[in-house]
Structure 1
Amino acid sequence: MSHKRLMALAAVAALLAGCGATAPKAASSTGSGAEAQAQAQANSPAVAKADLAPAAPLAGSGRDPSDCLPSAGQTWSKLRKACVQVFDVADIRLTDPDNPALAVYVLFSPDKKVAEMFSASFPDGSVMMAATRGGNSYFANMGRVLLLKDSQSKEGWRIAK
Protein backbone atom coordinates (compact mmCIF):
# COMPACT_ATOMS: atom_id res chain seq x y z
CA MET A 1 0.00 0.00 0.00
CA SER A 2 1.38 3.44 -0.90
CA HIS A 3 2.52 5.89 1.77
CA LYS A 4 -0.14 8.45 0.77
CA ARG A 5 -2.90 5.87 1.03
CA LEU A 6 -1.69 4.78 4.47
CA MET A 7 -1.58 8.38 5.67
CA ALA A 8 -5.13 8.90 4.38
CA LEU A 9 -6.26 5.70 6.11
CA ALA A 10 -4.67 6.84 9.37
CA ALA A 11 -6.39 10.23 9.09
CA VAL A 12 -9.78 8.61 8.45
CA ALA A 13 -9.22 6.24 11.38
CA ALA A 14 -8.42 9.15 13.68
CA LEU A 15 -11.51 11.08 12.55
CA LEU A 16 -13.78 8.06 12.95
CA ALA A 17 -12.33 7.30 16.36
CA GLY A 18 -13.17 10.86 17.48
CA CYS A 19 -16.79 10.26 16.42
CA GLY A 20 -16.99 6.95 18.23
CA ALA A 21 -17.03 4.91 15.01
CA THR A 22 -14.70 2.06 14.23
CA ALA A 23 -11.81 2.39 11.82
CA PRO A 24 -12.07 0.78 8.38
CA LYS A 25 -10.16 -2.46 7.88
CA ALA A 26 -6.99 -2.28 5.80
CA ALA A 27 -7.48 -3.33 2.18
CA SER A 28 -4.21 -5.26 1.96
CA SER A 29 -3.25 -8.32 3.98
CA THR A 30 0.47 -7.89 3.37
CA GLY A 31 0.79 -5.91 6.62
CA SER A 32 3.48 -3.28 5.99
CA GLY A 33 4.98 -1.46 8.96
CA ALA A 34 3.13 1.80 8.22
CA GLU A 35 -0.17 -0.06 7.88
CA ALA A 36 0.37 -1.79 11.22
CA GLN A 37 1.18 1.58 12.79
CA ALA A 38 -2.04 3.10 11.41
CA GLN A 39 -4.04 0.16 12.77
CA ALA A 40 -2.32 0.46 16.15
CA GLN A 41 -3.15 4.17 16.32
CA ALA A 42 -6.80 3.43 15.61
CA ASN A 43 -6.86 0.89 18.46
CA SER A 44 -4.71 2.87 20.90
CA PRO A 45 -5.85 3.44 24.52
CA ALA A 46 -5.85 7.22 23.91
CA VAL A 47 -8.58 6.79 21.31
CA ALA A 48 -10.54 4.51 23.59
CA LYS A 49 -10.36 7.10 26.40
CA ALA A 50 -11.54 9.81 24.01
CA ASP A 51 -14.52 7.63 23.10
CA LEU A 52 -15.47 7.31 26.78
CA ALA A 53 -15.19 11.03 27.56
CA PRO A 54 -18.52 12.84 27.97
CA ALA A 55 -19.54 14.80 24.89
CA ALA A 56 -19.23 18.56 25.15
CA PRO A 57 -22.43 20.51 24.47
CA LEU A 58 -22.76 21.60 20.87
CA ALA A 59 -22.10 25.26 20.20
CA GLY A 60 -25.33 27.18 19.78
CA SER A 61 -27.48 24.46 21.35
CA GLY A 62 -28.38 26.51 24.43
CA ARG A 63 -31.92 27.55 25.20
CA ASP A 64 -32.97 30.77 26.89
CA PRO A 65 -35.22 30.89 29.99
CA SER A 66 -38.31 30.79 27.71
CA ASP A 67 -37.01 27.57 26.09
CA CYS A 68 -36.34 29.36 22.78
CA LEU A 69 -33.21 28.77 20.68
CA PRO A 70 -31.49 32.18 20.28
CA SER A 71 -28.88 30.61 17.98
CA ALA A 72 -31.74 29.80 15.58
CA GLY A 73 -33.01 33.38 15.77
CA GLN A 74 -35.86 32.49 18.11
CA THR A 75 -37.19 34.85 20.73
CA TRP A 76 -40.21 34.68 23.02
CA SER A 77 -43.29 36.55 21.82
CA LYS A 78 -45.61 37.67 24.62
CA LEU A 79 -48.32 38.28 22.03
CA ARG A 80 -48.14 34.82 20.41
CA LYS A 81 -47.09 33.06 23.63
CA ALA A 82 -44.54 31.07 21.65
CA CYS A 83 -40.98 31.15 20.36
CA VAL A 84 -40.87 32.97 17.04
CA GLN A 85 -38.33 34.06 14.47
CA VAL A 86 -39.55 37.65 14.25
CA PHE A 87 -37.73 38.28 10.99
CA ASP A 88 -39.93 35.58 9.41
CA VAL A 89 -43.31 36.32 11.00
CA ALA A 90 -43.30 40.10 11.50
CA ASP A 91 -46.16 42.13 10.11
CA ILE A 92 -43.91 45.20 9.82
CA ARG A 93 -40.14 45.64 9.47
CA LEU A 94 -38.73 49.11 10.09
CA THR A 95 -35.27 50.61 10.47
CA ASP A 96 -34.33 51.13 14.12
CA PRO A 97 -34.19 54.90 14.74
CA ASP A 98 -31.47 54.34 17.40
CA ASN A 99 -29.25 52.30 15.07
CA PRO A 100 -29.89 52.35 11.29
CA ALA A 101 -27.92 49.10 10.90
CA LEU A 102 -30.60 47.23 12.88
CA ALA A 103 -34.26 46.48 12.27
CA VAL A 104 -37.36 46.78 14.43
CA TYR A 105 -40.06 44.16 13.94
CA VAL A 106 -43.75 44.45 14.82
CA LEU A 107 -46.37 41.73 15.29
CA PHE A 108 -50.09 42.57 15.45
CA SER A 109 -52.80 40.66 17.28
CA PRO A 110 -55.50 39.28 14.95
CA ASP A 111 -57.91 42.06 15.99
CA LYS A 112 -55.17 44.73 15.60
CA LYS A 113 -55.82 46.05 19.13
CA VAL A 114 -52.38 45.06 20.41
CA ALA A 115 -48.93 45.09 18.86
CA GLU A 116 -45.61 43.74 20.03
CA MET A 117 -42.49 45.60 18.93
CA PHE A 118 -39.09 43.86 18.94
CA SER A 119 -35.90 45.91 19.11
CA ALA A 120 -32.34 45.31 20.27
CA SER A 121 -32.61 48.56 22.25
CA PHE A 122 -35.43 47.25 24.51
CA PRO A 123 -34.22 45.72 27.79
CA ASP A 124 -36.59 42.73 27.48
CA GLY A 125 -36.30 42.46 23.70
CA SER A 126 -39.87 43.55 23.05
CA VAL A 127 -42.61 45.85 24.31
CA MET A 128 -46.37 45.44 24.16
CA MET A 129 -48.28 48.32 22.61
CA ALA A 130 -51.96 49.23 22.75
CA ALA A 131 -53.82 50.62 19.75
CA THR A 132 -55.00 54.22 19.92
CA ARG A 133 -57.00 56.38 17.49
CA GLY A 134 -58.69 53.52 15.73
CA GLY A 135 -55.54 51.55 14.96
CA ASN A 136 -53.63 54.41 13.33
CA SER A 137 -51.07 54.38 16.13
CA TYR A 138 -49.82 52.19 18.95
CA PHE A 139 -48.35 53.35 22.26
CA ALA A 140 -46.09 51.61 24.77
CA ASN A 141 -45.83 53.11 28.26
CA MET A 142 -42.49 51.39 28.79
CA GLY A 143 -39.91 53.40 26.92
CA ARG A 144 -42.44 55.94 25.59
CA VAL A 145 -42.50 54.41 22.10
CA LEU A 146 -45.04 55.27 19.44
CA LEU A 147 -45.77 53.36 16.27
CA LEU A 148 -47.55 55.71 13.89
CA LYS A 149 -49.23 55.12 10.54
CA ASP A 150 -47.36 57.24 8.01
CA SER A 151 -48.50 57.30 4.40
CA GLN A 152 -45.31 59.11 3.36
CA SER A 153 -42.93 56.34 4.49
CA LYS A 154 -42.35 53.39 2.20
CA GLU A 155 -43.31 50.92 4.97
CA GLY A 156 -46.49 52.84 5.84
CA TRP A 157 -45.42 53.15 9.49
CA ARG A 158 -42.80 55.06 11.49
CA ILE A 159 -41.43 54.94 15.03
CA ALA A 160 -41.42 57.97 17.32
CA LYS A 161 -39.78 58.09 20.73
Structure 2
Amino acid sequence: MNDLPYLAGYPAELLDRVRGLIARGELAQWIAARYPERHTVQTDRALYDYVNALRQRYLRNTSPLSKVCYDAAMHPVRGTLGSNAFVSRVQGARLKRRNEIRIATLFREAPPEGLRMVVVHELAHLKEKDHDKAFYQLCCHMEPAYHQLEFDMRVWLTARELSVA
Protein backbone atom coordinates (compact mmCIF):
# COMPACT_ATOMS: atom_id res chain seq x y z
CA MET A 1 0.00 0.00 0.00
CA ASN A 2 1.25 3.48 -0.83
CA ASP A 3 1.86 5.57 2.30
CA LEU A 4 1.41 8.78 0.26
CA PRO A 5 -1.60 8.13 -2.01
CA TYR A 6 -1.96 11.77 -3.11
CA LEU A 7 1.66 11.88 -4.26
CA ALA A 8 1.82 8.67 -6.27
CA GLY A 9 3.89 9.13 -9.41
CA TYR A 10 6.18 11.87 -8.09
CA PRO A 11 9.97 11.29 -7.96
CA ALA A 12 11.36 9.36 -5.00
CA GLU A 13 13.46 12.37 -3.92
CA LEU A 14 10.34 14.51 -3.41
CA LEU A 15 8.54 11.69 -1.63
CA ASP A 16 11.53 11.25 0.71
CA ARG A 17 11.40 14.97 1.57
CA VAL A 18 7.71 14.73 2.38
CA ARG A 19 8.27 11.58 4.45
CA GLY A 20 11.01 13.42 6.35
CA LEU A 21 8.64 16.29 7.15
CA ILE A 22 6.03 13.77 8.30
CA ALA A 23 8.55 11.90 10.48
CA ARG A 24 9.59 15.16 12.18
CA GLY A 25 5.95 16.23 12.55
CA GLU A 26 6.56 19.36 10.46
CA LEU A 27 4.40 18.76 7.37
CA ALA A 28 1.34 20.69 8.57
CA GLN A 29 3.48 23.63 9.70
CA TRP A 30 5.41 23.67 6.41
CA ILE A 31 2.29 23.81 4.26
CA ALA A 32 0.61 26.33 6.61
CA ALA A 33 3.65 28.60 6.38
CA ARG A 34 3.67 28.30 2.60
CA TYR A 35 -0.08 28.98 2.25
CA PRO A 36 -1.28 30.81 5.38
CA GLU A 37 -4.56 32.17 4.01
CA ARG A 38 -7.91 30.58 3.28
CA HIS A 39 -10.02 31.71 0.34
CA THR A 40 -13.38 33.45 0.70
CA VAL A 41 -15.26 31.51 -1.99
CA GLN A 42 -17.56 29.60 0.36
CA THR A 43 -20.94 29.39 -1.38
CA ASP A 44 -21.94 27.73 -4.63
CA ARG A 45 -22.94 31.13 -6.04
CA ALA A 46 -19.54 32.64 -5.17
CA LEU A 47 -17.86 29.59 -6.72
CA TYR A 48 -19.90 30.01 -9.91
CA ASP A 49 -18.89 33.67 -10.14
CA TYR A 50 -15.22 32.82 -9.47
CA VAL A 51 -15.12 30.05 -12.10
CA ASN A 52 -17.05 32.07 -14.65
CA ALA A 53 -14.69 35.05 -14.25
CA LEU A 54 -11.72 32.78 -15.03
CA ARG A 55 -13.60 31.25 -17.96
CA GLN A 56 -14.38 34.70 -19.35
CA ARG A 57 -10.75 35.75 -19.03
CA TYR A 58 -9.10 32.73 -20.61
CA LEU A 59 -11.75 30.69 -22.46
CA ARG A 60 -14.25 33.16 -23.91
CA ASN A 61 -15.08 30.96 -26.88
CA THR A 62 -16.20 27.99 -24.80
CA SER A 63 -19.86 27.35 -24.12
CA PRO A 64 -21.26 28.86 -20.92
CA LEU A 65 -21.38 26.91 -17.69
CA SER A 66 -24.83 25.90 -16.56
CA LYS A 67 -23.83 24.81 -13.06
CA VAL A 68 -20.82 25.15 -10.77
CA CYS A 69 -21.00 23.83 -7.22
CA TYR A 70 -19.21 22.24 -4.32
CA ASP A 71 -19.86 18.50 -4.09
CA ALA A 72 -19.67 16.75 -0.71
CA ALA A 73 -19.74 13.31 -2.34
CA MET A 74 -16.29 13.75 -3.89
CA HIS A 75 -13.32 12.26 -2.10
CA PRO A 76 -9.82 12.89 -3.46
CA VAL A 77 -8.49 9.34 -3.04
CA ARG A 78 -11.61 7.42 -4.04
CA GLY A 79 -12.54 9.80 -6.81
CA THR A 80 -11.40 13.22 -7.89
CA LEU A 81 -10.85 16.76 -6.67
CA GLY A 82 -13.23 18.13 -9.27
CA SER A 83 -15.26 16.94 -12.20
CA ASN A 84 -16.74 18.11 -15.45
CA ALA A 85 -20.02 16.89 -16.85
CA PHE A 86 -20.95 17.43 -20.47
CA VAL A 87 -24.61 16.59 -20.78
CA SER A 88 -26.23 16.67 -24.22
CA ARG A 89 -29.93 16.14 -24.74
CA VAL A 90 -32.39 16.60 -27.56
CA GLN A 91 -34.76 19.49 -27.09
CA GLY A 92 -37.14 19.59 -30.03
CA ALA A 93 -35.06 19.74 -33.19
CA ARG A 94 -31.99 21.04 -31.36
CA LEU A 95 -29.30 19.43 -29.32
CA LYS A 96 -28.85 21.23 -25.99
CA ARG A 97 -25.49 20.94 -24.21
CA ARG A 98 -24.88 21.67 -20.55
CA ASN A 99 -21.50 22.05 -18.91
CA GLU A 100 -21.26 21.45 -15.18
CA ILE A 101 -18.24 21.75 -12.93
CA ARG A 102 -18.19 20.23 -9.45
CA ILE A 103 -15.43 20.88 -6.93
CA ALA A 104 -14.85 18.71 -3.84
CA THR A 105 -16.30 20.40 -0.75
CA LEU A 106 -13.01 20.03 1.13
CA PHE A 107 -11.66 22.83 -1.07
CA ARG A 108 -13.75 25.29 0.95
CA GLU A 109 -10.93 25.00 3.50
CA ALA A 110 -8.11 25.23 0.95
CA PRO A 111 -5.76 28.11 0.31
CA PRO A 112 -6.79 30.39 -2.59
CA GLU A 113 -4.03 28.92 -4.75
CA GLY A 114 -5.41 25.40 -4.24
CA LEU A 115 -8.89 26.38 -5.31
CA ARG A 116 -7.49 28.18 -8.34
CA MET A 117 -5.46 25.12 -9.35
CA VAL A 118 -8.51 22.82 -9.25
CA VAL A 119 -10.70 25.34 -11.08
CA VAL A 120 -8.06 25.87 -13.79
CA HIS A 121 -7.81 22.10 -14.19
CA GLU A 122 -11.55 21.71 -14.63
CA LEU A 123 -11.83 24.70 -16.96
CA ALA A 124 -9.08 23.26 -19.16
CA HIS A 125 -11.33 20.24 -19.69
CA LEU A 126 -13.80 22.51 -21.49
CA LYS A 127 -11.32 22.63 -24.40
CA GLU A 128 -9.14 19.55 -23.87
CA LYS A 129 -10.80 16.34 -22.71
CA ASP A 130 -7.64 14.26 -22.16
CA HIS A 131 -4.71 14.88 -19.84
CA ASP A 132 -2.24 15.36 -22.66
CA LYS A 133 0.40 17.93 -23.54
CA ALA A 134 -2.14 20.43 -24.91
CA PHE A 135 -4.20 20.11 -21.73
CA TYR A 136 -1.27 20.93 -19.44
CA GLN A 137 -0.15 23.77 -21.72
CA LEU A 138 -3.61 25.29 -21.35
CA CYS A 139 -3.45 24.84 -17.56
CA CYS A 140 -0.06 26.60 -17.51
CA HIS A 141 -1.43 29.39 -19.71
CA MET A 142 -4.20 30.07 -17.18
CA GLU A 143 -1.93 29.52 -14.14
CA PRO A 144 1.83 29.68 -14.84
CA ALA A 145 2.65 27.95 -11.51
CA TYR A 146 0.14 25.16 -12.17
CA HIS A 147 2.50 22.21 -11.66
CA GLN A 148 3.92 23.59 -8.41
CA LEU A 149 0.42 24.34 -7.11
CA GLU A 150 -0.75 20.84 -7.99
CA PHE A 151 2.11 19.31 -6.03
CA ASP A 152 1.58 21.66 -3.09
CA MET A 153 -2.13 20.88 -2.99
CA ARG A 154 -1.36 17.20 -2.94
CA VAL A 155 0.95 17.86 0.02
CA TRP A 156 -1.85 19.92 1.62
CA LEU A 157 -4.24 16.98 1.16
CA THR A 158 -1.66 14.66 2.73
CA ALA A 159 -1.22 16.98 5.74
CA ARG A 160 -4.98 17.33 6.07
CA GLU A 161 -5.47 13.55 5.97
CA LEU A 162 -2.75 13.02 8.61
CA SER A 163 -4.32 15.58 10.95
CA VAL A 164 -7.72 13.86 10.70
CA ALA A 165 -6.29 10.37 11.31
The TM-score range, normalised by the shorter chain, is: under 0.3
Q: More relative contact order in 1 or in 2 (CA 8 Å, sep 6+)?
A: 2
TM-score by length of 1: 0.25
Larger radius of gyration: 1
With normalisation by structure 2, the TM-score equals 0.24
Q: Per residue, is there more strand in 1 or in 2?
A: 1
**Structure number with higher helix proportion:** 2
